């Protein structure tokens, strides 16, 4: 490779890194101006193309994010001219661009003045309930995670064309529904906030325990979800459940290095080397949980789940875990957000606190739940209780059924190994 080729390669790597960092803020700022997420993304990509053309020759500018924003704003003005949009809006944009150029050549100050509000608007717009959960996931990862269509498709094991269609349809649905680019107010805020938190949590969970594929975890998705959660916590500091979700993700993410063995095999919670748990993430999670507690009189679902995770995180060894307290927290969570999956988790805690027979009694009551009919963790948990009770033949059947239901190959191998041990 020649020196010129090396220089171009380094420039392209720098552009890719800058795009990952700046794309969300860039699209958010443009969406505020043009009031259309699809158009904003096109303008941002036009600026990216300009960077790809110019930076290898001119070098990466001192403030690359501001350079991209300036280039995109010029294109926004050109678009307004071509489409003969409202002259007043065109004048405002031209004046804004000229004022920013005169006041601060690198635009840092002027961008920081509005970037927080713009990002918050973008998060709420991308997670609008008018979109399906799948569309919200794809659009959020594209606009706020900076992932390409191919990367999103690979993460969720669907075709690239499927993800591309979801993103196109999502942007069209937002435009057709005339969804305003704003943070909702009053009662609508709570409903929209729950949608935002749900999307971020779904992204994290897919990274923490991949539903399908060859990998037990997808750390990049966990990192994207954590980054989005931290941004939201800064932008909505008075919302307790935002901090509850951040606390939950921080504490769960602290175990990442201990959850996977050297060959990629899963390592379950009770078998993990707790010395590998990331203490910085645990401290951050506990601080976020404390903050959530100070903001709300009662704990919401995410804060309760974070409190459960905190019980594990603060136990120096597996046998020092306060399982009775965890069972009580699951009972509290079940009252607040009833779910057969919560009841399954409570059964595990009860079994750890009072013995496998007590847990099996609760699990047997869940076998008729339609929502758990094809949920692989139900036979997995039941098989574990039966194994501990010495009912090996029954345990083997349950582990085999669980292995047939999971779509994750690493988890399937683990379950089949447990079935073999039960012979």
CB environment 357-393: b (16+ within 10 A), e (fewer): ebbbebbeebeeeeebeebbbbbbbbbbbbbeeebee
The answer to whether residues 368 and 340 touch, using CB atoms and an 8 Å cutoff, is no
- CB neighbours of 312 closer than 8 A, spacing ≥ 6? 251, 269, 321, 326
Q: Is residue 136 part of a domain?
A: no
52-84, pLDDT tens digit by residue?
A: 889 888 888 888 888 998 898 888 888 777 765
Q: Is residue 154 part of a domain?
A: no
Secondary structure (H, E, C), the chain: CCHHHHHHHHHHHHHHHHHHHHHHHHHHHHHHHHCCHHHHHHHHHHHHHHHHHHHHHHCCCCCHHHHHHHHHHHHHHHHHHHHCCCHHHHHHHHHHHHHHHHHCCCCHHHHHHHHHHHHHHHHHHHCCCCCCHHHHHHHHHHHCCCCCHHHHHHHHCCCHHHHHHHHHHHHHHHHHCCCCCCCCCCHHHHHHHHHHHHHHHHHHHHHHCCCEECCCCCHHHHHHHHHHHHHHHHHCCCCHHHHHHHHHHHHHHCCHHHCECCCCCECCHHHCCHHHCCHHHHHHHHHHHHHHHHHCCCCCHHHHHHHHHHHHHCCCCHHHCCHHHHHHHHHHHHHHCCCHHHHHHHHHHHHHHHCHHHHHHHHHCCCCCHHHCCCCHHHHHHHHHHHHCCCHHHHHHHHHHHHHHCEEHHHHHHHHHHHHHCC
pLDDT band at 4 (very low <50, low <70, confident <90, very high): low
Nearest to 160 by CA among 177, 138, 181: 138
Q: Which domain holds residue 15?
A: 1-114
Average pLDDT over residues 265-284: 95
Q: Is residue 2 part of a domain?
A: yes
Distances in whole angstroms, Cα of residue 297 to Cα of each of 280, 294, 330: 27, 8, 18
Predicted pLDDT of residue 94: 58
pLDDT band at 310 (very low <50, low <70, confident <90, very high): very high
Q: Which two tokens stand for residue 135?
A: 């569309």
User: Which of the two residues, 349 and 140, has the higher pLDDT score?
Assistant: 349
Q: Which two tokens stand for residue 370?
A: 């339609």
Torsion of CA 76, 79, 81, 82, to 10 degrees: 170
Q: Is residue 257 part of a domain?
A: no
| % of residues, the chain, pLDDT over 90 | 49
Q: Say whether pLDDT at 133 is over 50.
A: yes
Q: Say whether pLDDT at 297 is over 90.
A: no
Predicted pLDDT of residue 148: 83
- Whole-angstrom distance, CA of residue 20 vs CA of residue 28: 14
- CB neighbours of 78 closer than 8 A, spacing ≥ 6? none
Q: Say whether pLDDT at 299 is over 80.
A: yes
Q: Indicate the number of domains in the chain.
A: 1
Q: Which two tokens stand for residue 303?
A: 């804060």
Q: Is residue 69 part of a domain?
A: yes
Q: Which residue has the tokens 């939201």?
A: 232
Q: Is residue 131 part of a domain?
A: no
390-419, pLDDT tens digit by residue?
A: 999 999 999 999 999 998 999 999 999 999
Predicted pLDDT of residue 290: 97
Torsion of CA 135, 137, 142, 144, to 10 degrees: 130
**What length does the chain have?**
423
pLDDT band at 256 (very low <50, low <70, confident <90, very high): very high
Predicted pLDDT of residue 5: 56
Prediction pTM value: 0.78
Predicted pLDDT of residue 364: 97
Average pLDDT over residues 189-199: 85
pLDDT band at 219 (very low <50, low <70, confident <90, very high): confident
Average pLDDT over residues 190-216: 85
Nearest to 334 by CA among 361, 366, 358, 293: 366
CB environment 179-197: b (16+ within 10 A), e (fewer): bebebeeeeeeeebbbbbb
78-115, pLDDT tens digit by residue?
A: 877 776 545 555 555 555 555 544 443 333 333 344 45
C-alpha 143: how far from chain center: 13
Predicted pLDDT of residue 99: 53
Distances in whole angstroms, Cα of residue 145 to Cα of each of 25, 225, 405: 11, 8, 31
- Whole-angstrom distance, CA of residue 402 vs CA of residue 415: 7
User: Which of the two residues, 35 and 259, has the higher pLDDT score?
Assistant: 259
pLDDT band at 191 (very low <50, low <70, confident <90, very high): confident
Q: Which two tokens stand for residue 83?
A: 């489409």
Task: Please provide the average confidence, as pLDDT, over all residues in the chain.
Answer: 86
User: Which of the two residues, 188 and 290, has the higher pLDDT score?
Assistant: 290
Predicted pLDDT of residue 112: 41
Give the range among 7-11, 57-61, 235-239 with minimum mean pLDDT. Answer: 7-11
Predicted pLDDT of residue 345: 97
232 phi and psi angles, rounded to 5 deg = -65, -35
Average pLDDT over residues 304-319: 96
Q: Is residue 353 part of a domain?
A: no
Q: Say whether pLDDT at 157 is over 50.
A: yes
Q: Say whether pLDDT at 365 is over 70.
A: yes
Q: Is residue 6 part of a domain?
A: yes
Predicted pLDDT of residue 84: 58
- Whole-angstrom distance, CA of residue 208 vs CA of residue 252: 8
């Amino acid at each position: 490779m020649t020196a010129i080729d090396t220089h171009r390669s380094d420039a392209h790597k720098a552009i890719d890194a800058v795009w990952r960092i700046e794309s969300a803020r860039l699209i958010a700022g443009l969406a505020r101006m043009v009031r259309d997420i699809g158009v904003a993304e096109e303008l941002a990509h036009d600026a990216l193309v300009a960077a790809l053309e110019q930076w290898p020759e001119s070098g990466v500018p001192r403030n690359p994010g501001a350079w991209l924003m300036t280039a995109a704003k010029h294109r926004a003005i050109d678009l307004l001219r071509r489409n003969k949009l409202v002259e007043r809006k065109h004048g405002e944009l031209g004046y804004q661009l000229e004022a920013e150029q005169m006041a601060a050549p690198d635009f840092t100050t002027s961008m920081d003045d509005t970037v927080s509000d713009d990002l918050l608007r973008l998060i709420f717009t991308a997670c609008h309930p008018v979109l399906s959960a799948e569309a919200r996931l794809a659009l959020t990862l594209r606009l706020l995670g900076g992932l390409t269509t191919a990367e999103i498709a690979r993460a969720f094991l669907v075709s690239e064309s499927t993800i591309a269609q979801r993103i196109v349809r999502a942007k069209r649905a937002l435009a057709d529904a005339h969804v305003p680019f704003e943070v909702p107010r009053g009662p609508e805020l709570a409903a929209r906030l729950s949608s935002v938190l749900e999307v971020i949590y779904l992204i994290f969970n897919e990274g923490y325990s991949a539903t399908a594929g060859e990998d037990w975890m997808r750390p990049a998705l966990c990192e994207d979800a954590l980054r989005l959660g931290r941004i939201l916590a800064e932008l909505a500091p008075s919302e307790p459940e935002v901090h509850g979700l951040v606390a939950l993700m921080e504490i769960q993410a602290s175990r990442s290095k201990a959850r996977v063995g050297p060959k990629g095999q899963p390592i379950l919670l009770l078998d993990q080397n707790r010395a590998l748990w990331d203490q910085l993430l645990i401290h951050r999670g506990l601080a976020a949980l404390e903050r959530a507690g100070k903001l709300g009189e009662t704990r919401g679902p995410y804060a309760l789940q974070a409190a459960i995770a905190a019980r594990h995180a603060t136990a120096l060894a597996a046998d020092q875990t306060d399982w009775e307290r965890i069972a009580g927290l699951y009972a509290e969570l079940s009252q607040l957000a009833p779910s057969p999956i919560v009841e399954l988790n409570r059964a595990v805690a009860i079994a750890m606190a009072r013995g496998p027979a007590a847990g099996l009694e609760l699990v047997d009551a869940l076998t008729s739940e339609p929502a758990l009919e094809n949920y692989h963790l139900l036979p997995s948990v039941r098989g574990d209780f039966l194994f501990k009770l010495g009912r090996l033949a029954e345990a083997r059947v349950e582990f085999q059924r669980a292995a047939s239901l999971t779509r994750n190959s690493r988890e399937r191998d683990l379950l089949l190994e447990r079935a073999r041990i039960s012979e």
